[in-house]
Each structure stands twice: as structure tokens, then as C-alpha cells.
Chain A
Amino acid sequence: MSKITYREALNQAMVEEMEKDDRVFLMGEEVAEYNGAYKVSQGMLEKFGPGRVIDTPITELGFAGLGVGAAMAGLKPIVEFMTWNFAILALDQIVNAAAKMKYMSGGQYSCPMVFRGAGGSAARVGAQHSQSLENWIANVPGLKVVMPSNPADAKGLLKAAIRDNDTVCFIENEINYGDIGEVPDGEYIIPLGRADIKRAGNDVTIVAHSRMVGFALQAADELAKQGIDAEVVDPRTIRPLDENTILASVAKTNRAVVVEEGWRFCGFGAEVAARIMERGFDDLDAPVARVTGKDVPMAYAANLESLTLPSVAEIVEAVRVVCNRA
């Protein structure tokens, strides 16, 4: 175990996997000479050289497509988007090419690759640089969508994503990059598609992912003071979703609150709530509640920004409602 940051954990994962498999390379804007816009790829150019750590022009659609072709030809690209906001420019390659290639080609070609970068809201960067789009890509069969909430998960999940033989959209969080946590040294793999119970509890299930796990854990601490024992479940992989872990938790607590940073309309939380309703209805003692980002673009002003995001207080309040304590 060592205490390292979320960004260092991601770096370790990439370095270890690139040492192990020479088909793996990293490509993206500022990943090489600049050492990464968020310093995730610090030192990797020096270690692997410009043939495997490759600066691209600002041309998301072009280099995403290049990654797709390289993966079809047998390499294992890691394509970094500086943020997922810019991946919107590359969605044709992700949604229409990478996700469908195996199916469309009758199983002949596939795209074993990782698209990764920061998602969710950053701090004070306005509407175009602060949004959660995981529900867009999680909607598409053929893709896997992974969102780590702490440094250990970041390492274990990214290593699994790089080894995976499918297209994995790996969504980090800019605000989490500096978080410090205990991370196992060396080989540490977390299988994709497995949720994790971040805090055990008996009274209510809070389902949260990415940065919202931290919010949910803070809410759980506050709720404990009020005599409510919350369980926090982090799906970690958004698609395919480990609904069994969520359903097992709800079967125990009989109450659920789903928290997400993204917009409420057609959000990931709606999917989780629907699945609990479909397969866990008889376990529920109250309707599932959702705490989400407000249905507006992100503003710049500090007060508007925090009003737009979900808050710990809102999670506490939602839990109190589903526990009939409001």
C-alpha cells in the first residue's frame, strides 16, 4: 500500500500496463511533452518515448478514429480526451464505429481500446467544460463505461480497462485528480462490472458514482449523527451495470436514493431507479428518490455553480424523505 493521488494511480496503471504489453500506447492532446494537461501522464514520454506516448493536434474526431483503426488492426490504444466535453466532437467514432464494429462485422473486427479523460463538472469553468455525459455513452450497447471514485479504484479499474478486449470509456473526474488514498502496489486489478459497497449500512441504500461517492459518504456521516445508517453503493462500472449488488442492498435496506452529478432527465439515476422498481419493487418501503444536478447549464459564479450541483444537504434531505423522517 502507498498513499498516492488519483492522478498518480492512473499513471501507475498506464505505466504498468504499457510495460507489460507493447501493443498499448497513449495518445492525446498534451499527453507527452507537456506531461498531460492534468499531469496524469507525467514522466511517461521519458519512459516510453515518442513512439508510444504521442502528442496529437487538437483534433478529437481524427485521433479517436485513428485509435479505432489502430485497435481494429490489433493494437490497444489508450486515447486521452483532455476532458469528455471535447469527446462530443469524436462521438461518431465512439458510438458509430467503436461500439458497433464487432457486431457490424459479424465478430471479425473489434475495438479493444480505452477512451479516457476527465468528466463531470470542474471548478468555475462554465457550461461547456462542466457536464456529466456518461448517460449518453452508457446508452450504447458495445461500450463499457467505467467511473472510478477514489485512487485505488482508479488504478485497479484502469488496469482492467486496458486489458479488456472491448471499448472502455473511462471517465475520470477533474476535481478528484488530487485526492489522496491508499492504493495497493503493483498488480491490482478490479474486475469491470462489479459494484462496490463503499460504506455498509442497514437503513437506506445510497447509489452514487464518481465524485458523488464522496458526497454520499459525507451525507452518510451526517445521517449517522441523526440515527440513520446508510449504505453507499458505488457501481464503478456504469455499463454493464452490476444491478445485483444494488438490488441486494435494497433488499436489505428497503429504501434507496440515487445520486448523480448529471442532469435528471434521462439520467443514469433514472435507469437505476427503474431497475430497482422492475426487480426490487417488493423490497421497497418507499419510492426511490433521485438527487441530481439541476436541469440547467452550469454557470460560472461560485454560488450559482454550487446551487447547480447536488449537495450533501440535498442527499441528507432525500434520505430523510425516503426514511419518513422529513
Chain B
Amino acid sequence: MIRRYYFLNGGAMVATKNQESSVGLTYEGRDYSAEALYQMHDMMLYIRRFEEKAGQMYGLKKIGGFCHLCNGQEAICVGMEAAAEPTDYMMTSYRDHGHILARGSEPTAVMAELLGRAGGVVKGKGGSMHMFDIEKNFAGGNGIVGEQVPIGIGFGFASKYRDDKRVSITIMGDGGINQGAVYEAFNIASLWKLPVVFVIENNQYAMGTSIGRASAETHLFKRGISFKVPGMQIDGMDVLEVERKMGEAIEHARSGAGPIIVEAMTYRYRGHSMSDPATYRTRAEVDEWRSGRDPIARLQKQMIEAGLGSEASFKEKDREIKKAVAKVAKDAESQPEPDPSEVWTDIYNDPIEGAYPYPGKVG
């Protein structure tokens, strides 16, 4: 799958790895190579189809427990990864499939994790909510709302401690923002100028509670004011805006200026989790976002206008991706369940013989 994204800025290559490319389109003063646009498009579409497949597998009871899909929010996953370095740290809540895919983890391993299989990205021990990939610097996959935010500043602290200029991209939702832990983290990160970008994926519903019912200040990018953490609100349905603004935010953090908040306005097309029919939202509201602001359709339109594809070519791409996802699901499903011995592994790095596991009759 896609690993890196390539950009042109004012004609000069910014993050080239190995391929030359010409300007595909210019948007808000920033030039994007055709290759970058294709990659971002394909990744968003891949996440969309992957999530749809996950929803289907859940319906067939092949995926158990909690399963939170990110359909509609793909531009944030992809745009921020495009702006980040692979060495930057990233961690989020339990709505994590899109993020770990955008980071470049093996889709089959992600799907196998959802299915509870041995080849899962965390060996079948985490499931939907606990995806980790240390090689991709993806630190979860955290199930307690807001818990990842103090952890995220810890990664920022480590970066500052070692002076290795890595940025911690710490993602939460509009539900998580109301946890006390978040404000403790804002305060410390600002006080010590830690290189952290706090990303708020504002999909406007904390489970079934609309933002107006949960937040006294609904402009969440302002939540850092008391801690002198600057914030900006961006269109999270526009992958190019996410890439551009996240680039600025990451640069701010990397420069030593301290943390920054990015509130990305978005919408999840599905319920909070698979068990949520989302009856608290009107059909008109969902349709307004789905058909009016869809990030994939929007980029496709821009690309068609720039001569970088046609409806037919995108349809063909979609078929290709659906096929790839179907293969991933099939391959993942063919994997065995974890070995029963895995119950007792990965608990301690330094186990103490004779004392653990408990040698008695139980547990």
C-alpha cells in the first residue's frame, strides 16, 4: 500500500522520496503532484471500502465486541499522515482503523486483528479498539476516552528529552475533549513546550450526545486558550486542507513553539459503533454531509477538473480497491486463531520464575 505522499510546493519538491512528478493541481496556493493526489485519493477510498467490509463482517458476526467505523472521516486520517513524517508519533482513541491504515500498516494484519486472528497487527489480543504498530510509530488504539492524550504528551516529552524533533500527533474526538485528562495534558504540554499536535476529530456526536448537549464551548479549537495553546479549526472533509493545515501545525510543534490544537470538522456516516443505529440524527443531516461534503467525492471532482481522471477512471479504481479489500478479508479470514499459549504471553518483560504465572490451582 501507499507509504508516503509526495508534494510540490511552489514548484520545488518538498518531501520527495524517489519519484519526480509534475504539478497536478494548485489549491490554496499549494501545489500538489498528480502522484500525491492519486495516493491520497486511493488511500481515502481504501479506508472507506475497508470500513464497509468491516461493517459487513461485523454483520456476519465474524467481528465481535465493539467496532467503531470512520466512514466519512477519511480525509483526516489521510491528510494528517500526508503532512507527518513517518518518524512522528501518532496515537488515537478506539476509532483507529483509518489511522493505522493511513500510517501504512499491513491491511491484512488490520483485518486479521478485527477477526481476532493470529496474524492480527497485535496478534489478536487487541481487536478493533487496540491497534498498535510500533514500526509505524502508531501507539494505539486506546479504549478509554481521552486516555491517549496524556500518553501523547509523554511521547512529546520523550522527543524533547532526546531532542530528536519528532512530533506527537495526539488525536481525540469531540467526546474526549471533555475529559479532565485532556486539560492536564494541555497545561503540561504548554508549560514545557512539548512538540505535540492535538487533533480533535469533531464529528459532532460523542456517541449519541450532540456537541451542543455536551460542550459549553462548542468551538473546540478554543479549548486551549486558558493554557496558551493556540488552536485552529479546519475543514476535516477536505483532504487538501487537512494536509496543508496539519503541515503548518506539525511545523509549529517541531520548531519548538509548543503544542497546538487542530479542530477538524467532520462527520461519521455510521453510528458510534456497530450497535448504534444513530436514531439521534435526522436523515437530512446525514445526507447533507454524505452527499454534499464527502471528502472522496470532493477530491475526485477537483481532480477531474484538473484533468487527473474521469468518472470512469475513478469507478475503475474503486473496483480495483474493492477487489483488493475483498482479498484482504479473505486472506485474514483464512488465518488461524491465536495459539492458546498466547493467553500467557506479553504480560511481563521480566517475568519472575516461581512467582508468575501463579503456580497454584487457579489463574
Q: A interface vs B, CB < 8 Å? A: 25, 51, 56-57, 59, 61-75, 92-93, 96-97, 102-110, 112, 141-142, 144, 164-166, 191-193, 237, 239-244, 275, 278-279
Contact = CB atoms under 8 A, between A and B. Distances in A.
A92 B132 contact: no
7 contacts: A68-B154, A75-B161, A106-B122, A164-B349, A165-B350, A237-B355, A242-B355
Contacts of A74: 158
Interface stretch (B134-142, B211-219, B312-320): B134-142
B151 A72 contact: yes
A57 B139 contact: no
Contact of A62 (B132, B144, B185): B185
Contact of A164 (B159, B346, B350): B350
B346 A97 contact: no
A108 B133 contact: yes
A109 to B, nearest CB: 6
Given A68-B150, A104-B130, A193 B360 contact: no
Contact of B159 (A73, A93, A278): A73
A27 B126 CA distance: 30
A240 B124 CA distance: 26
A112 B158 CA distance: 14
A126 to B, nearest CB: 25
Given A103-B125, A243-B360, A93 B150 contact: yes
Contact of B132 (A56, A97, A108, A279): A108
A166 B143 CA distance: 21
Nearest to A71: B154
Which 5 residue pairs spanning A and B have beta carbons closest together?
A69-B154, A65-B150, A62-B184, A193-B352, A106-B122
Contacts of B156: 69
Contacts of A112: 349
A65 B121 contact: no
Interface of B: 89, 91, 120-126, 130, 132-134, 139-144, 147, 149-159, 161, 168, 180-181, 184-185, 187-188, 191, 345-352, 354-356, 358-362
Contacts of A104: 122, 125-126, 130, 132, 140-141
B181 A108 contact: no
A65 B153 CA distance: 8
Contacts of A102: 346-349
A159 B133 CA distance: 31
A59 B354 contact: no
A229 B313 CA distance: 89
Given A68-B150, A103-B347, A106-B123, 12 more contacts: A57-B184, A65-B181, A69-B91, A96-B144, A103-B125, A107-B345, A108-B134, A109-B132, A165-B350, A166-B349, A192-B352, A242-B355
B126 to A, nearest CB: 5
Nearest to A64: B150
B355 A240 contact: yes
A66 B150 contact: yes
B132 A166 contact: no
A61 B184 contact: yes
Contacts, number: 176
A92 to B, nearest CB: 6
Given A57-B188, A107-B346, A166-B349, A51 B161 contact: yes
A59 B125 contact: no
Contacts of B362: 278
A97 B142 contact: yes
Contacts of B149: 65
A96 B142 CA distance: 9
Nearest to A95: B144
Contact of A66 (B125, B143, B188, B360): B188
B360 A105 contact: no
A105 B349 contact: no
A61 B181 contact: yes
B169 to A, nearest CB: 12
B150 A69 contact: yes
- Most chain B beta-carbon contacts within 10 A, residue among A66, A165, A239, A279: A66
- Most chain A beta-carbon contacts within 10 A, residue among B89, B134, B141: B134
Contact of B155 (A70, A108, A242): A70
- Most chain B beta-carbon contacts within 10 A, residue among A67, A104, A107: A104
B120 A73 contact: no
B154 to A, nearest CB: 2
Contact of B154 (A65, A144, A244): A65
Contact of B348 (A51, A75, A166, A243): A166
Contacts of A103: 125, 346-347
Nearest to A242: B355
Contacts of A242: 354-355
Given A71-B154, A106-B125, A193 B355 contact: yes
A57 to B, nearest CB: 6
Contacts of B191: 57
A69 B152 contact: yes
A315 to B, nearest CB: 26
A188 B359 CA distance: 29
Contacts of B125: 103-106
Contacts of B133: 108
A67 B153 CA distance: 9
